[in-house]
Structures are given as C-alpha cells and as structure tokens.
C-alpha cells in the first residue's frame, strides 16, 4: 500500500524578474539624478543669461536726429500757415483749446500753443503757453497766454526728423517706473495679469482658467501667460510656438522674479512691448507709442487713449487705429469694460471714454528718417567722430541745422518744376538734386537727393558726380583777378585749337557757335563765353585754376587739362555748394555744417560743432568777382531769373550746362541763402535743357517761395570805382554802352577811367548795418 507523501506549506515561487526590477529602479534613479543635475545646470545657464542681459544695457537706443529749433520773435517773416505746418511736423496736435504741452489752436491770424520741455546744450527750455499773433506775413506779437506778458523770444522744441538704428530697427523712449501713469499700470494689470503682484512669475490659476475658456470656445481665445512670461518671451526668446519654448519661458519667468522686483519687471515690460510699426521702424514701449499715436507724452494721455494702447498688446497690426478703426474701437471698448469691472475707472469715466472718437492720423508725419537725403549727410559727418555702436546704441541726441521750412519748399518746388519741364516735351525721367545753405554761417538748411524726397536710394546731392560745365568759370576769373586782370580787362573770345588729354586736338566753341571778339572780362563771365574763358585760363595757367578750386573747398585733385577750364571735371552738388560758399562768404572758407550739437541721452553736451573760418582769398578779389556774378543775373545767362524774383533782390549766380545738354546747373546766392540745383537724367542722356532753361527755373521757384533777403555786397577796404570805357570792345554783350561803372582794386583802374564822387555802395552799406564782411571780420577780432 502506497503511503502519501506529506507536503508542507506551499512556498511562493522565486521572482526571477527581481534583478531586472532592481536594475530598472537604479536606472530610473540615475536618470532622475542626471535629469536633476541637468536641470540645475541648464537652470544655472538660463539664470546667467537672464542676469547678464537684464543687468547690462537692456536696449540699444538709436541716436535721435532733430531739426533746428524754430525761434519766434516779433517781425519774423512767418505766416500762420507756415507755423502750423512746422508745428505739425514737430508732432503738435491741433485742438479746440490747447492746454497740454504739444497742443495748439488756431483762430485766423492767432495761434495759441503750449510748447514742450526740451533740453538743449545751454539748459532746459521749459514748457510755456504762448499766443502768437500775425500781421501780413510777419509775427506781430508774442505773449504769455495766461498773463498777457510780452515775450521777446520763444524757442520751440525741435522736430524729430530721424534716427540711426541698429540692424533690428527698434525704437523706444525709455521710461522709469515713476514715469508710468498709475492708470496705465492698473489697466495693464487688469487686462493682462490680474495676479501680477501675487504670483511668482507663473500663474497656475490663469493657465487653468485659460485652458477651460479655450476648450469652451473650441479655439484659443485666452492666454495664461503672465506679464513676466510675456517679457521673457519678447526680451529673451523668439516667437516659435513649441513646448520647449514654453518650458523655457516658465522657468525663466520664475528666475526673473527671483532676482528682480515687480516694479523692475513692470518697467521693463512697459519699455519692451511691441505696439506698432512706423514704416521700417518698430515702435516699442508705451512712451514712444504715446507719441506715435497721439503726439502726447505718456503722462498726458486720457483713459480712452490708455485703453487703446493696452488693447494693442493683443495685436498691434490687427488693431491698428489708422488702418482698422472699427476693430480698434471694439478692442478699446473691451478694455474699457475690463477697467470698469476691475474698478480701475468709474461709470462716468467709462461713459466718457466710450464716446471718444479715434484720432485721425492723416496729418501725422513719421519721425523715422523723414528726410533721408539730409540724414545721409548727417551720418557721414558723424562717422568722422563716432563709432557705429555709439550712433545706434547710446541714445545720442543730434541737433542739426536742417530748416524744415526750407526743406519742405525745396521738395515741393523741385518736384513741381521737374513735372512742368516734362510737360514741355523734355525727357520724361528727369531727376534733380538741391543743396541750400546759409550764406553767412555755412549751415546746410536743406538737401534733396531726388524728386522723391522719401526715397532713401541713390542720393544725387551727395553722390552724383556730374560735369559742372560753366560753373567752373568763376574759379577761372577769380584766378585771373589774382594775376593782374580787372573786370574791364580785354579778353579775346575767338576760336582756338589746343592739345587735350592723349594729344587729341580740342576745339572749344561757344554755346551760340559764334565768336564775340574783344570783350571785357566781366562780360565774358556774365555771358559765359567759352572761348574767352579758355584763352584766359590758358594765359594764367590751368594748374593755378585747379589749385584755386581746391582752395575754394573741393578737396580733390584735378588733372590740369584745358577742358577743365570749361567744367569737364565732375563734381557733386554738395561739392559745388562748398565751392560757392567760399565766394558767397566773401573769400572766407567756411566748412559747411549739418550738425550743431551732440548730447548724451541724459542731455549732457558731447560736442558742439562751432563755426570754423579761414580767409583763403582777399575780400577785395571776391568782391570784384561777386559783382560780376550779379551781372550774370542782371544781364547775362541768368537774366531769366527775373521771371521769378524781382531785380531789386540783386541776386548773384551762375548757370552751367555740360556737353550735349546732359546736365543743367544753377548756383546762386541772395542776402541770406546759397542754393545749388542740378537737373539731369540718371542714364546720362541729353535732357534738352541748359542751365538757364532747367536748373535756373527750379532755383527761382525755390527761392521765390522762401522770400529771400536782398543781396548787398559789403565793399571791403581797398576798392575804388571807375567808369570803364567800353567803346573799344565788341558790342555783342554790352548793349551799346559807351561806359560802365565797375569796381577795381586800388591802383588797378585803367587809365582814362572816370572816378565817381563816391562809391555807389557806400550809402547802401551804411543803411544795411552789419554786413556779411563785417560779421566775418568780427569773428577774427
């Protein structure tokens, strides 16, 4: 009989997978350890990144460029329309009743305005409410609006005309925490981050709330990012919508809050946030946005305007008040409703703000590179003294010499003249360039680089090297006067043949293809006789003429070829302007200036660009030459100017035409301004225009619009007058006159010349008071 085997309690089977679980646990712990270490290392990296950028220079602030400040005084030649135009250019607002800085109102011939604070090199010009009354085309009185006190002078804050940006073309006006209005701060928190002062950088409740709102709507209608996270995204990260970026954003937001106070973060956000686009310039921060949209300082904007700016955060382009008014109104209303719900404003303020219309921006002019041709010249001058980084990151303030009134007239009249010339059957692709400067000080007041003033392309005023034709002739005759010639000296206007470059024969000819025989020197210049000019230049030496051109201010060497005497050497309009500036200044070389002062961002003077004067030619020589240049206008090739300006203006000038009518030039000066005009085609083909039929017309239109002063040449010591006998000369240009009163350097008067009892200019000079010659002579004293 078999026996039953006894069995004990059943044992649990061995777990053969226990070693695997242990290994997995170890790997998991190791991975967690590595992950923790990695997170700490990466967090440390992010922490250093945050502190390095946030503790350093947070933004690259572009240098801001300003026009000259407009100074108002009694009897200034200015109309209400012109003042209003300049106020608009400077960002002033036309209002029913001007109360705040940057506002003005107009009633007929009276303009009331409130100027804005502006820090000049000589101190802060405080805001003031003033009333300006006009009579005719001049200022009749200037008074304080509140007290009626008469003011001798009011200096307006200058218009912002451009800025030099780093590559990202961002612009902003930096604000401190104290500059942020409380209403803006409360609105910002109510709309964008209600728990800003309670969370640690990330708001979990806001994330959950946004998630449920988006699920209910079936689309993304609400975000859960805090202000701190938005700042991190805009300041440190890009806009890619990835999980990794969101993780970085959250971590960096927490780190940012660990190191910096809420007020620091809020202020940085207010300066960083993108709020619009101004052409190629990105508008960042509430400070610049307030100026851009409302022409007001941030401290002066209304609840409705604050709501509009805060509403733009959601989509500056989508809610752009200039392009999408209805959308902007809806968004502004939504923000105002939130302001009411959160107790930021009361019902009365809410009702008032809802009724406010969106301000029209049609008359607003951008402050971003408004005059690119002039700004290009400013940049070239600054490049001599400053590094690129200085101009694009340090927020320098550049106060220039640009006169907005002159610049606007130059742009208008050049464009109108070119269009009129094209209608006359000339080329349909005419271009032009203009440079206008102050006759006494050499400040460049306006520059046009082409007929499209906002085009920042090829700058013809600075870079178009074109043959100047007869504009070279004053240099030829100035050299002749230095070498024994007088205005009455006989010169032969007869044909000749010369060897030019490469041994080629050169046979110059007059424009009318005629010879005029024996003529006085002043007539050869006034009527622009080519043959007489070449003969005179060859007699005195082409090298001497070229040397004088350099002394006049064209800092280049020219080959001393005979064709140089008729302007075959190319120059830019800017070089021509500098050359004639020396003549207009009575022989004193004044390097033309476009910059007055440079200030730091905190208004400390960096450099003042003062007047530099060097006497390069005797005043008596230049007086003789300028007398002849006045005859160019009164009886020579420039006499067509009489159709635009009265003869009593006594302007001086010179026409210039290059071969085959490719280039049309005119240079002239009045009592207060010097102007250079070039007209031609970019393909260098003939225009069908001479200097008198093209550039002179534009010059006349421009100067007529500027109401120029009479040109009264100051007679220097050492000049005597005599009646030159013209009977021995050909009568082609002297209109049959037997004699002509001309000035001579003492001791050089021709024999037989009759001396008048007194200089014909003495009384005029005494009546005119301080003249340009006396002014410059005073600089040396």
669-692 burial, b at 16+ Cβ within 10 Å, e below that, comes to: bbbbbbbbbbbbbeeeeebbbbbb
Beta bridge partners of 652: 669
Six token digits for residue 669: 């000066």
CA 113/CA 128 separation, integer angstroms: 8
Give the gyration radius of the chain's Cα atoms: 37
Asked if 193 and 310 touch (Cβ cutoff 8 Å), the reply is: no
Give the SS3 label for residue 284: strand
Residues 365/116/375/56 CA torsion (nearest 10 deg): -110
Residue where the block lists tokens 């604070």: 117
H or E element, residue 669:
strand 663-669
414 vs 430, 447, 637, 687, CA distance in Å? 11, 11, 21, 16
Give the SS3 label for residue 162: strand
CA 324/CA 779 separation, integer angstroms: 57
Angle at 334 between CA 328 and CA 335, to 5 degrees: 90
Closest CA to 666 of 636, 686, 705, 624: 636
Which of the following is catalytic: 86, 163, 170, 192? 192
Q: Where are the beta strands (DSSP E) in 309-394?
A: none
Q: Is 585 a catalytic residue?
A: no
CA 453/CA 467 separation, integer angstroms: 24
What is the DSSP annotation of 408-423? Answer: HHHHHHHHHHHHHHHH
CA 436/CA 447 separation, integer angstroms: 7
Asked if 406 and 436 touch (Cβ cutoff 8 Å), the reply is: yes
Angle at 37 between CA 32 and CA 42, to 5 degrees: 120
**Strand order, beta sheet including 673-680:** 444-448, 431-438, 673-680, 663-669, 652-657
Six token digits for residue 769: 């008071």
Residues in the chain: 781
Give the SS3 label for residue 150: strand
Beta bridge partners of 25: none
CA 160/CA 163 separation, integer angstroms: 8
Closest CA to 256 of 202, 307, 212: 202
Q: Report the sign of the C-alpha dihedral through residues 417, 419, 422, 424, in that order.
A: negative
206 vs 121, 209, 263, 335, CA distance in Å? 50, 5, 21, 18
**Up-side HSE of residue 30: CA atoms within 13 Å toward CB?**
6
Which of the following is catalytic: 225, 437, 470, 489? 470
Closest CA to 477 of 578, 561, 553, 549: 549
Residues 308/313/318/320 CA torsion (nearest 10 deg): 40
CA 456/CA 162 separation, integer angstroms: 12
Residue where the block lists tokens 């400013």: 378
Beta bridge partners of 743: 721
Q: Report the sign of the C-alpha dihedral through residues 413, 418, 422, 426, in that order.
A: positive
Asked if 223 and 214 touch (Cβ cutoff 8 Å), the reply is: no
H or E element, residue 191:
helix 182-192
Q: Is 712 a catalytic residue?
A: no
Residues with active-site annotation: 192, 470
């Amino acid at each position: 009989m078999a026996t039953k085997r006894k069995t004990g309690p059943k044992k649990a089977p061995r777990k053969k997978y226990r070693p695997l679980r242990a290994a997995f646990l170890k790997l998991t712990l190791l991975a967690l350890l590595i992950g923790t270490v990695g997170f700490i290392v990466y967090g440390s990296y992010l922490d250093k990144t945050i502190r390095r950028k946030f503790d350093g220079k947070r933004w690259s602030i572009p240098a801001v460029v300003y026009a000259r400040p407009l100074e108002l005084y009694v009897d200034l030649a200015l109309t209400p329309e012109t003042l209003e135009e300049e106020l608009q250019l400077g960002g002033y607002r036309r209002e029913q009743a001007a109360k705040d800085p940057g506002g003005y109102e107009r009633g007929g011939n009276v303009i009331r305005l409130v100027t804005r604070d502006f820090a000049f090199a000589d101190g802060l010009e405080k805001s003031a409410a003033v009333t300006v009354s006009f009579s005719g085309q001049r200022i009749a009185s200037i008074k304080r609006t509140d007290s009626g006190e008469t003011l001798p002078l009011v200096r307006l804050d200058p218009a912002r005309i451009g800025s030099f940006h780093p590559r990202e073309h961002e612009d902003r006006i930096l604000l401190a925490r104290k500059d942020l209005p409380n209403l803006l701060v409360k609105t910002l928190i109510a709309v964008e981050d209600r728990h800003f002062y309670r969370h640690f950088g990330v708001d979990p409740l806001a994330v959950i709330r946004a998630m449920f709102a988006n699920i209910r709507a079936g689309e993304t209608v609400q975000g859960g990012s805090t202000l701190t996270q938005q700042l991190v995204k805009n300041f440190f990260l890009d806009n890619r919508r990835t999980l990794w970026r969101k993780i970085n954003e959250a971590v960096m937001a927490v780190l940012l809050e660990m190191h910096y106070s809420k007020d620091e973060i809020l202020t940085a956000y207010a300066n960083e946030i993108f709020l619009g686009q101004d052409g190629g310039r990105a508008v960042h921060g509430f400070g610049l946005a307030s100026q851009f949209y409302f022409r007001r300082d941030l401290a002066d904007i209304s609840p409705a305007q604050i709501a509009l700016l805060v509403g733009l955060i959601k989509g500056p382009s989508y809610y752009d008040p200039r392009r999408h008014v209805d959308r902007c109104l809806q968004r502004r209303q939504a923000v105002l409703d939130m302001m009411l719900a959160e107790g930021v404003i009361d019902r009365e303020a809410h009702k008032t703000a809802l009724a406010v219309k969106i301000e029209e921006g049609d008359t607003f002019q951008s402050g971003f590179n408004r005059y690119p041709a002039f700004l290009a010249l400013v940049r070239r001058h600054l490049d001599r003294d400053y590094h690129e980084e200085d101009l694009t990151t340090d927020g320098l303030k550049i106060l220039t010499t640009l006169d907005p009134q002159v610049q606007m007239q130059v742009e208008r009249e050049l464009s109108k003249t070119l269009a009129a010339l094209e209608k006359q059957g000339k080329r349909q692709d005419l271009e032009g360039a203009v440079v206008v400067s102050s006759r006494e000080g050499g400040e460049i007041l306006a520059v046009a680089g082409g007929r499209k003033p906002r085009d920042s392309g090829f700058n013809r005023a600075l870079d178009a090297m074109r043959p100047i034709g007869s504009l070279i002739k004053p240099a030829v005759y100035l050299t002749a006067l230095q070498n024994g010639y007088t205005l009455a000296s006989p010169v032969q206007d007869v044909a000749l043949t010369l060897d030019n470059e490469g041994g080629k024969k050169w046979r110059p000819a007059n424009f009318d293809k005629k010879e005029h025989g024996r003529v006085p020197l002043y007539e050869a210049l006034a009527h622009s006789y080519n043959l007489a000019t070449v003969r005179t230049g060859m007699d005195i030496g082409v090298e001497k003429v070229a040397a004088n051109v350099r002394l006049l201010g064209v800092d280049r060497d020219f080959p001393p070829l005979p064709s140089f005497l008729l302007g075959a050497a190319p120059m830019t309009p800017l070089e021509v302007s500098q050359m004639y500036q020396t003549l207009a200044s009575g022989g004193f070389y004044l390097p033309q200036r476009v910059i007055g002062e440079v200030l730091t961002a905190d208004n400390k003077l960096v450099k003042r660009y003062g007047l530099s004067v060097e006497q390069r030619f005797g005043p008596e020589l230049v007086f003789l030459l300028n007398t002849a240049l006045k005859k160019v206008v009164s009886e020579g090739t420039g006499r067509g100017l009489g159709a635009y300006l009265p003869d009593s203006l006594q302007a001086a000038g010179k026409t210039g035409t290059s071969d085959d009518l490719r280039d049309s030039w005119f240079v002239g000066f009045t009592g207060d301004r010097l102007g250079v005009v070039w007209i031609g085609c970019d393909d260098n083909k003939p225009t069908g225009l001479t200097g008198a039929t093209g550039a002179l017309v534009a010059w006349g239109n421009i100067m007529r619009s500027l109401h120029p002063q009479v040109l009264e040449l100051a007679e220097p010591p050492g000049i005597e007058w005599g009646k030159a006998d013209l009977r021995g000369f050909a009568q082609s240009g002297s209109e049959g006159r037997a004699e002509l009163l001309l000035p001579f350097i003492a001791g050089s008067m021709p024999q037989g010349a009759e001396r008048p009892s007194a200089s014909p200019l003495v009384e005029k000079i005494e009546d005119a008071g301080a003249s340009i010659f006396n002014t410059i002579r005073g600089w040396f004293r």
